[in-house]
Amino acid sequence: MDISDITKDSESVSVSAHVVEVGEPRTINTKFGPRDVADAVIEDKTGRINLTLWQEKIDEVKNAKKVEIENAYVREWNNNLSLNFSKNSTLKCVNDGEDEKETTE
């Protein structure tokens, strides 16, 4: 799927995109206790979209050149779309000249 095809109603989103930036992590209190979260921006040839990262995914994506995401879901906040991970989502981080690293939620 191209980023430009993603809408607020998209489900099970799979994209391959370059990492543009990863913001500084912040700690928030959740029902599971304190968790680190960061906002990232990814892009493909058709556009850009925000990506919400939790815990260990922050460092994984921060060190990646490209990500391949499968089965993500979309949230809308302040008229901006953001990709988010569920327990069924997978993330592959790719660095130039390195092997892929795959993680699941």
Condensed to tens digits (0 to 9), the pLDDT of residues 14-69 reads 999 999 999 999 999 999 999 999 999 999 999 999 999 999 999 999 989 999 99
> Helix/strand/coil (H, E, C) string of 50-80?
EEEEECCHHHHHHCCCEEEEEEEEEEEECCE
Residue range 4-15: mean pLDDT, rounded: 97
CATH of 3-104, one of 1.10.1040.10, 1.20.1050.10, 2.40.50.140, 2.60.260.20: 2.40.50.140
Amino acid at site 41: V
pTM above 0.85, yes or no: yes
What is the number of other CB atoms lying within 10 angstroms of the CB of residue 52? 16
pLDDT bracket for residue 104 (50, 70, 90):
low
The domain spans of the chain are 3-104
